[in-house]
Amino acid sequence: MLAKIYQPAPSAMTSGRAKRHWVLEFVGKTTGKIDPLTGTKRSTDMREQLDLKFETLEQAVAYAKANDIPHQVIQNQKVKRIPRSYADNFAFDRKLPWTH
């Protein structure tokens, strides 16, 4: 079973850029079946339910190699942030018109 190692995207409700953790997540080969009573997906493989968290990428890769887990590292794309201030919303020479 293949595992993917990645950094989850930050929540849309946060603006901080603090250090984030790395996740090792197992990717299932089966689609599972839908439980007719609850409508949720069921699987007989417990590894699909695991998400292991690590502080660094090196720790996650070392864990995967130590336990003979085939893995794939997915790097995040860097987000280009445009610095703006709150006062720019009320500037006289504003480039974009108000939408409300």
Q: Is 85 within the bounds of a domain?
A: no
Q: Is 49 within the bounds of a domain?
A: yes
CATH number at residue 59: 3.30.160.190
Q: State residue 30's pLDDT score.
A: 67
Q: State residue 84's pLDDT score.
A: 77
Average pLDDT for 16-41: 82
Q: State residue 36's pLDDT score.
A: 86
Count of domains for the chain: 1
Percentage of residues of the chain with pLDDT beyond 70: 93
Per residue in 52-95, pLDDT (tens digit) is 999 999 999 999 999 999 999 999 877 777 777 888 777 777 77
Give the domain range for residue 45. Answer: 1-8+19-29+38-76
| Contact criterion met (CB below 8 Å) for 64 and 50 | no
Strands (E) across the chain are located at: 3-6, 22-26, 33-34, 41-42, 51-54, 71-73
